[in-house]
Structures are given as structure tokens and as C-alpha cells.
Chain A
Amino acid sequence: MGQRAPIPAGPVASTKASLVSMRGPLGIGFLLAAIGRSTLAAIRSIGRISIFAVIAVSHVLRPPFFFRELSQQLLAIGFLSLPVVGLTALFTGGALALQIYAGGARFNAESVVPALVAIGIVRELGPVIGGLMVAGRVSASIAAEIGTMRVTEQIDALETLSTDPIKYLVVPRLLAGVITMPCLTFIGDTVGILGGFLVGTQRLGFNAAAYIQNTWNFLEVDDVTSSLVKAAVFGFIIAIMGCYHGHRSERGAKGVGRAATNAVVTASVLIFTANYLLTETFFSA
């Protein structure tokens, strides 16, 4: 083990000493060990999440089916998310119209507002912002609910009542996420375009009929398809992250709170990652 340099007194000298220490063999070793630990932890998490997701998917088509729980989740995840998705889409569409108008004015291209609002909302902002809003609302809620069930032994109780917790708790939420997110996104896309239309016609002076015509002409079936596929994938991510973190929740209010936070953070990051990969798949070349 190398000898440490004497550390001079004073805050500046102390900072300098710690920097020196970081460059020394001990500091680099410590740093590498920390990076290694984080990397291993991340790989372990990815492995656990993947296994959990595979188990959950493998239960989807196998009976028994809990239709009552599915209908409850369709309501909780889908219908009750409508206001938040609709409002964010409406204002996003309006803001997008203003931004495109201001940017387009630099090139005398103000007329592209309807087309770009439609494409921007349908291809990108509708599913992503909708996904993030639902992740914030639903992923946290699922994680907190399942986490509370875990710490209050309700999941143990399910097992002792001959009921598989994956089938009873995870599968209905997973199906509800995959079914409702495309519906929510379709509505969000429509409301977002409506937001752009309202700003375009009421604030920017576009002719209503021309705006609608432009929107219709530029929007393609592939745009809508990609939006709905993205939404279904995001729905899967939102539900599986909520269920996974809830299922692994530690005891106590702090454990459940951490599970909810982790669910939202990982769902959001995975939504952005999946969005990029899906965009590459749909629109590259």
C-alpha cells in the first residue's frame, strides 16, 4: 500500500489533497470499485426486471383469468388518466403551434404549422408526453399499492388463498396498460392537434378549413400506427415497472415511498429509451 502524502491544513489545501488522493492508486482503485459495484447492481436490476417481465408475460395467456380485476384496472389506468393526458396534450399542441410559427417565420414558412403540429404530436409528443404523465400517475400508484400489499402481508395472504399474485395483481395491470395506453394516446393526439388548431386559428390567424385540410393531407397512416405501437410499449413499461418495484418494496413507509419513486424514474427513463429505439425502427432510412 502506498504512503499517503501529508495533508496540509486549510480548505483549499484540503480540496487539493483530496484531488491528489483521487489521482493516486488508492483513489483510482476506490473509484473503479464504485463504478464496478454500480455496474454490477445495474446489470442485476436489468436481469431481475427481465425475468419478472418474462414471468408476467408467460402468465397472460394461461388461466385463470381475473376479468373483474382487469376491468377495474382498465378504469383506473385508462379512464381516470384521461383528464391529465388530455390537458397536457391540449397545451402541448398549443405551445407547439406557437413555437413552429415563430421558428417558421424566420424562413417565411409559417404555413407549415398545421402539418408540423400534427406530425410532431402524433409521432413524438403525444405518446411520449402521454406516457410520462401516465407513468407519473399510474406507475407510482401501482408500486405504492402493491408495495403496501407486500408489507401488510396481503400478497402472502393471496398465496395462502391459492391465488397466484402474478396472475391476480400483475397480469390485469399489464393488460390494462397495454390496452389503454394506445387509446389514451389516440385521444391525446387528437386533443393535441385540437390545441394547435385552436391556437392556429384563434391566435395566429389561420383559416380553420385550410388548417384542417393541411393537417389531414400531411398526416399518414404510418404516423398514427407508430404512435399507437409506441403507446402500447410505453403502457407495458409503465405497468411492469410499477408492479416490479411494488413487488420488491421494502418494509415501512420509506420502503413503499422508495418503490413508488423508483417506479416513476425507471419507467420514465425506459420510455425515452424505448421511444428512441422505436423511432429508429419506424422512421430510419
Chain B
Amino acid sequence: MKRPDELRKELEDLSPRLLKLKEQGEGFNIPANYFQRLQKEVLEKVQATENVPTSTPVPPGPSWLDQLKEQMQFLLQPRWALSLASVALLITLGITWLYQQNQVTTGRVGTELAKLDQQTLDAYIQDNLHEFDTETLMEFASNQDHPLQLNFDELQPEEIDQYFDELIQDLDDETIKEFL
């Protein structure tokens, strides 16, 4: 309920300036027919928002653990489990067979090499000397009852120099001093 007289009296006591300003008007205006338009616009806004399909909240996805469990349950169904077991068995058999084949081949090679006599082996090494590094040759020579005999007659001078260079590089200082 408005009681302007009561307010006027109160303002006279409190602030004559504010009473004077109030009588002048507050200075706020509104566009013509504003309230008719406001009603229309508010109703349009209500209808517009009602027609907009409300987005249904997306439920949070399952955690990685749930997903893993789900996948495991799927894979452990009898038909899938049987298929997986068959594949695993085939892979195991395949690996085992390949390993055995490799062993057989290695064994066969060893047996065949054992049949070769020392001369044949020496001749092979002489013919393929460039395929071996010096360290292997030295090791081979030290293990032989008959040290490797290099046939220098069949080598070119450059090859002989190269052989000695490699040999010298492999010797330590003390050993070289012993030779000197």
C-alpha cells in the first residue's frame, strides 16, 4: 500500500534534496506500448524454448575396468573361448615345430662338419680367408694341433701386407717389444 504523505514527511526530515528530486521525476522512460510488446516477446521466448528439443544428458561411459570385464565376458563365451583355444594351440604347435626343425638343422650341420678332415677345413679357410676376422683366425689357430698354415705363395703382396697390418694392430705393445 502506498503512503506518499508518510514518505514526504520522512524525506522532509531526512533529505529535502531527495524530496525535491522525487518531485522532478526520476528521468526513466520506456518505449511506447512497451508492456504489450513485452508480453508478446516473453510468450514467444517461452514457446521457442519449448520447441527446442532438450538435449538428453549423456550418461557417463563405463570405466576401462568395466569395458575390460565386458570384453572378457564376451570372449569367454563357449564358442569364442573354443576358437581362441584352438588358435593358441596352433600357434604353440607351430613355434615348437620351428624350434625342433632348427635344432635338427644345426645338428645335421655339426654332424656333416665332423666328417670333414683337417686338410679340407684348412683348404676351405685358405680359400675364404677374407671372410674371417683376425681374432677368429687367431683363436682358431691357437686351438689347432696343427696351426693354420698360411700359403703365402698364393697371396698377393698387398694381401700379405694387409694381413700383417691387421695382425700388428691386434698385438699389444708388450708383445711387439718382445718381437723386437
Bind each other? no
Q: Which residues of B contact A (CB under 8 A)?
A: none
Instruction: Write the residues of chain A forming the contact surface with B, with a CB cutoff of 8 angstroms.
Output: none
